[in-house]
Chain A
Amino acid sequence: MSAIEIRNLTKRFSTVTALDDLSFSVPEGEIFGFLGPNGAGKSTTINMLLGFTQPTAGSASVFGYDAQTESKRIRERTGALLEGYGVYERITAREHVARAIRVKDTDDDPDDILARVGIPEAADRKAGGLSKGMRQRMAIGMALVGDPDLLVLDEPSTGLDPNGTRELRDVIREENRRGATVFFSSHLIDQVEAVCDRVGILKDGQMVTEGSVTDLRAQLDAATVTVKVEEAAPGPLLGDLREIHGVEEVEATDNQILVSARGGDAKLQALNRIERAGVGFADFTTDDPSLEEIFEVATLGPREDRRRDPAVEATAEGDA
């Protein structure tokens, strides 16, 4: 069974369409990365999953429970860390966790939970006086109460330092090993890439790409070969390289030639051509497309398209 099932979900706020006929599902036991630029509709999706807002059309369900009519049942089995939460200023960290324990009616120990998220010393401090990172750890702790079957984490690394981010990844993996499905929403690609089995990329309220990170890499496949040379590459060489089947893009600086190509054959031919050209071949590196590039292509379109259309590029920069 799917942990999360979203069908034709649409949400309109007066004039803005936040989600446009969105459909996807997350199988039980998976760590799903929900990616998208700011304003893509990630939090709107989560708010509807947990019953904070009602869909304009379509439906969302979690473990078979309808998000509109059986929201409480969903939240009984879910631990949620939601972006934009605010703490109860006058309530201590321990009381926050204890609150979650009482509502969920579990036998967790608040101090154990606070220790697990690395802030045992903050237990008796009022949340209003905690640093951003400590609040975030406390909120993560609250989400872990009751060993939920689903963890919904919306931008969970907000406010965390690099150690906190690494510990968060460990917690996510531990929870997943225990059997929890993890729905991880973020605009930080490296965070998602590090832990997720599968990702979906949301843009303007629509899922533009969905699949495992490996599959998505294969789809894109264009890798860049960076060749170090001793002399500037002459124009005819660059022309030759562009002629090679599979080569998409060639750029050169004084001592570098960058070739974007699909498939190993094209890359090898390009390397041979450069070597024979006598420009002082020194070394080369290749990079596989990172999730970041996948993200970039999915949300902004292929690079060459953007280059041809300056308007698109201008918009992209404006968003960044």
Chain B
Amino acid sequence: MTWQTVLNDDLLGVRRSRLGQGVAATMFVFTAGIAILVALAHYSTPGGEAPPFDTIMLLIGSLLSLILPFIAMLGSYGAIIQERESGSVRFLLGLPNSRFEAYLGKYLSRSVLLTVATAVGFVVVAAVGFGVLREPDVVNFLLFVLLTLGFGVLFVGFGLALSAALDSETQVTTGIISTYVLFRGVWPVLQWGGLWLTRSEGEQSVRPYPEWYFYLGRLDPMNAYVKLVNVLFNDDQFHPLITNPQAAEVDYLAVGEWYSLATLVVWLVVVPIVGYLVFDRKDVL
């Protein structure tokens, strides 16, 4: 299968590119870097008690919920559009690679780039977490690693789908920024807009919120990820990045971890497929 060739060739190019190296370095900084800072802080204050494992993991997870989507899309947005703009797509698709093989190879390559960079960072996090911090939890840590890798690949899917479906690098760049703004900025506005439209004046922010508010809110992959990190390391207590259910709201299906997990799986699967279907039918020259 030639997707393996595309995968290997793309990885070679990415490894030699500044962007690829930058993506890897940034991921390392936001995982290993934080862990190293925490360890340094601990050792530089003699006699002090080490911070709890869960607190640091919650911090890293919360930061990653903001940073990882952007890094992942940066690492993948050029995968196809840059080949079209540079003309090397005439080699990529002039050689006997099918569109599917080219797309799959690119998807895997960019996923490997991000996954390896993240995993290497997590090795350092684990060293600090299990060597320095209080009350580490192996199972939760492994779940966190899996969750985070999946969350990263989900946004690799967004970057690649946009790269394959749009027609210029400018469009794709706009696309990834818009995707980020959509989930980080527009989504809460949609939720508030919904309340504003469906409720009478003065009662818009009265709790409990209707069920749809959470169904919509937790459909945002960034919210879904924060929710799951919060379950792993904060016993699902208050978290500043998401709407925390109160009273009757805690019984909604949408605020449960399974809804969030399902949300992530759906985005993870659907986005690259939609991107491929558009790519498969389009004129690339």
Contact = CB atoms under 8 A, between A and B. Distances in A.
Contacts of B17: 90
A54 B281 contact: yes
Contact of B96 (A89, A90, A95, A104): A104
B262 interface: no
A75 interface: yes
Contact of A95 (B12, B97, B98, B285): B12
B26 interface: no
Interface string B204-235: 00000000000000000000000000000000
Interface stretch (A45-53, A170-178, A216-224, A225-233): A45-53
Interface stretch (B87-95, B192-200, B251-259, B267-275): B87-95
Contact of B95 (A73, A90, A91, A100): A100
B283 A103 contact: no
Give the most central of B5, B16, B96, B97: most A CB within 10 Å. Answer: B96
B95 A84 contact: no
A75 B96 contact: yes
A71 B98 contact: yes
A87 B95 contact: no
Given A87-B88, A90-B17, A72 B5 contact: no
Contacts of A284: none
Given A80-B90, A99-B5, A102-B5, A47 B95 contact: no
Interface string A184-207: 000000000000000000000000
B98 A72 contact: yes
B95 A75 contact: yes
A99 B95 contact: yes
Interface in A27-76: 47, 50-54, 71-73, 75-76
Interface in B3-55: 5, 9, 12-13, 16-17
Given A52-B89, A90-B13, A103-B95, 9 more contacts: A47-B285, A52-B90, A52-B284, A54-B281, A75-B95, A76-B96, A88-B9, A99-B9, A100-B91
Interface of B: 2, 5, 9, 12-13, 16-17, 86-91, 93-98, 281, 283-285
11 contacts: A51-B93, A52-B89, A52-B90, A52-B283, A54-B283, A80-B94, A82-B90, A86-B88, A88-B9, A100-B91, A104-B96
